Amino acid sequence: MDPVTPARLSLNTATVREQWNLRECIEGCARHGIGGISPWRDKLAECGVDEAARLIADHGLTVTGLCRGGLFPAADAAGRQAALDDNRRALDEALALGARCLILVAGGLPEGSKDIADARAQVRDGIAALLDHARPAGMPLAIEPLHPMYAAGRACVNTLKQANDLCDALGQGVGVAVDVYHVWWDPELEYEILRAGKDRLLAFHVCDWLEPTRDMLLDRGMMGDGVVDIPRIRGWMEAAGYHGFAEVEIFSAETWWKKPADEVLATCVERLSFV
């Protein structure tokens, strides 16, 4: 298995979100030889989509994804429509950037709901409605299963099997994003990566699971600092036909968000041996 080169590394802007704006992220990637970028929409809005597209093109970066659409479930029809409208805007932004995919984080339980099966049905219907626009536009939608600890608050799609089942149900134009943080524990992971296959494997996100983890949201680790055997998982991805970028996405309030961003990027590059 070939090592991941910096040219095949992508920076998810969440990794340095407290230090840099999008322009600084783009220039930082270029400086460190990092070939890809995956912006979050708040950074993108701040920069402006046209300006961002120009800067990214000028620096020769690949947009490995736009983070993020999704968050479909809502307590009423008006909320669902608002979610769909926002997803269409995200789709337009992904198209303007020439992103490889629009990342979808499903969304959790609507306020006051205990019906996770209903939330999951809303996610399926929401993606189907978005697909009506994404498919003719040629923008792949990447369903990212999140760790089960986020099932209530953030995403009720919690395993790669669920994401694959959704792809089966929804047809062309939708695939999956595999983030090792969310799926590393799953005994079905190897099988489900193979099942997804080359056409559906749209993104590969890396970081590490720290043990112990001190915060459920903002204590992700740098590759090599935790317990995840990332090369094993990347091997499964490659065996299934994925040879795209490894995108580093680290939420780390107490460690990496407190360091100079150039040091963070340099560390990501150094730690490619753990990817």
Strands ordered across the beta sheet of 174-179: 62-63, 36-38, 9-12, 246-248, 201-206, 174-179, 141-143, 102-105, 66-70
Residue 195: partners with Cβ closer than 8 Å, 6 or more residues away: 164
Minimum Å gap between C-beta 229 and its own copies is 4
Handedness of CA 203, 134, 162, 121 (dihedral sign): positive
Tokens of 145: 């299963």
CB of 165 to its own copies, least distance (A): 8
| Cβ at position 62, least distance to its own copies in Å | 29
Helix axes 261-270, 22-32, angle to 10 degrees: 40
Nearer to its own copies, 93 or 186 (CB): 186
Nearest distance from C-beta of residue 210 to its own copies, angstroms: 9
**CB-nearer residue toward its own copies: 123 or 265:** 123
Nearer residue to its own copies within complex by CB, 55 or 105: 105
User: Please, which residue, 40 or 209, has the CB nearer to its own copies?
Assistant: 209
The Cβ of residue 47 has, within 10 Å, a number of other Cβ atoms equal to 21
Least distance from its own copies to the Cβ atom of residue 65, Å:
24
CB closer to its own copies, 138 vs 212: 212
CB of 67 to its own copies, least distance (A): 21
Instruction: Please answer whether residues 173 and 135 qualify as being in contact, where contact means their C-beta atoms are separated by less than 8 angstroms.
Output: yes
Residue with smaller CB distance to its own copies, 161 or 205: 161
* CA 167 – CA 176 distance, rounded (Å): 8
Residue 33 vs 153, nearer CB to its own copies: 153
Strands 9-12 and 174-179 come out as unpaired
**Smallest distance from its own copies to CB 227, Å:** 5
Residue 225 · residue 208 · CB < 8 Å: yes
Number of other residues whose CB lies within 10 A of the CB of residue 172: 10
The site for its own copies (CB under 8 A) is made up of 108-109, 113-116, 120, 147-149, 151-153, 156, 158-159, 161-162, 184-187, 209, 211-213, 216, 226-229
Chain centroid offset of residue 92 CA: 17
- For the chain, counts of helices (H) and of strands (E): 10, 9
In whole angstroms, the minimum distance from the beta carbon of 217 to its own copies comes to: 9
**6 or 79, CB closer to its own copies?**
79
